Amino acid sequence: MQQRSIVEASPTHPLLVKLEQHTKLPDADRDLLGRMLADIRTFDGRRDIIRVGEDPEFVHLMVEGWSCRYSIVDDGRRQITAFLVPGDFCDVHIVMLGQMDHSIGALGRARVAFISKDLMAEVAERPSLTRALCWASLVDEGVLRAWLVNIGRRNATQRVAHLVCELHARLLSVGMGSDDSFEMPLTQEDLGDALGLTPVHINRVLRLLRERGLMTFSNRTIVIQDVEALKREAGFDPRYLHLNCIRGS
C-alpha cells in the first residue's frame, strides 16, 4: 500500500502530469506508476547515473533535479543531446537495446527512480500506459529534431533563446516554474555543450539578452522579462512538444 500511495498522495507528480497530457490513466495504471517510484536513489553533485557501454539492470526516471544525455568525442569534448527534468525517462527503450550508446549525468543533486525490467514488462501489458509512454517517446524525438534545427540553422542568440523557451514550456507542462521564471541548475559550460557554443560566447549572449530586456540568468534562476518577445527572438513554436493534447477521459 505504501508503494501505491506515492502517486495517489501526489496527484501533481511530474510523471503523472506528463503522461496524462496524452490520456487519462485508469486507477490500475496509476497504481503501477506508484510501484515504478518505489526505488528512488539520490545523486549528490555531478555524477553519472549510467555510462556509455553499460548494460543497465534498470530503467531510470527523473524524480527531482536535472540530468543530461551526453557523449564525449575523440578530443574529450562533451556534446549534450538532451536535458532531462522531473517526469522524464532517461532510457526507457534500454530494455530492447541492451547497452547504453550514451551517458546520463546528473546536473547537481538529483533523485532518480530505478525501475526493474520486470516492472517495465508489466507496463507493456497496460494499453493506456503503453500509449502514454509511446507518446512521451515521440515528444522526445520531436525535441531532438528541434535541437538539430536550433544548432544547425539559428544564430547564437536565437539558440539560447529557443532553449530557454523550450525548457520553460516543458517545466510549466509538469507543474514546475512560473509564468515568467524557473530554476535552472545549468552552468554556462552546460549551455555551451548543448548549443555548440563556447562558455565565452554563451556569456556574451546572456548579457545581450539581459541588455535587451528579454531575460536574465543569475543564482540558478531564469527570469523572462518579456515572454512573447523572447519567443519571437527564438522563432519558438511549441507544437513539437505536443502539450495539452489529452485524448479520451
13 and 90 housed in the same domain? yes
Residues 12 and 116 in one domain: yes
**Domain annotation covers residue 69:** yes
**Mind listing the pLDDT tens digit for each residue in 206-242?**
999 999 999 999 999 999 999 999 999 999 999 999 8
pLDDT in tens, 50-89: 999 998 889 999 999 999 999 999 999 999 999 999 999 9
Please check whether residue 133 lies inside any domain of the structure. no
- Same domain for 123 and 174? no
Asked if 128 and 107 touch (Cβ cutoff 8 Å), the reply is: no
Residue 233 grid cell: 527572438
Number of structural domains (the chain) is: 2
Q: Is residue 84 part of a domain?
A: yes
| In-domain check, residue 132 | no
Quick one: 91 and 156 in the same domain?
A: no
Tell me, yes or no, whether 117 and 146 share the same domain: no
How far apart are the C-alpha atoms of 198 and 217, rounded to whole Å?
Answer: 17
CATH code, domain with 156:
1.10.10.10
Domain membership flag for residue 190: yes
89-98 pLDDT per residue, tens: 988 877 677 7
Which strands sit side by side in the sheet containing 48-50, from one edge to the other?
48-50, 103-106, 67-72, 78-84
| Residue 53 and residue 105 in one domain | yes
Calculate the CA 213 to chain-centre distance: 27
Spatial CB neighbours of 11, under 8 Å, sequence gap ≥ 6: none
Regarding whether 147 and 87 lie in a shared domain, the answer is: no
Indicate if 58 and 161 belong to the same structural domain: no
- Domain containing 189 equals 140-241
Reported as a single tens digit per residue, the pLDDT across 6-52 is: 444 455 688 888 888 877 899 999 999 989 999 999 999 899 999 99
